[in-house]
Amino acid sequence: MGLGVLEPKTSEHVPGTSFVLDDASRPTLLQDRDADLKYDRRGAVPIILVPQPSDDPNDPLNWPLWKRDVILVILSTISVIASTLSPLLAANTVTLSLYFERDFTQMALLTGYHLLGVGVAGFIFVASARIWGKRHLYLLGTILIIISSAWGGAVGTNYASLAWARVIQGVGLAPFEALVNAS
* Rounded CA separation 118/18 (Å): 45
Indicate the pLDDT class of residue 113, thresholds 50, 70 and 90. Answer: very high
* 97 — pLDDT class (breaks 50, 70, 90): very high
**Alpha-helical runs (H) found in 15-134:** 65-83, 93-100, 104-132
The average confidence (pLDDT) of the chain is 84
Per residue in 21-47, pLDDT (tens digit) is 555 666 555 554 566 788 888 878 778
pLDDT of residue 132: 92
pLDDT recorded at residue 131? 92
pLDDT of residue 50: 81
Distances (CA, A) of 118 to 24, 26, 40, 135, 180: 54, 50, 40, 18, 14
pLDDT reported for residue 29: 56
Mean pLDDT of the region 58-74: 89
54 contact partners, CB below 8 Å, separation of at least 6: 61, 62
pLDDT at 141 over 80: yes
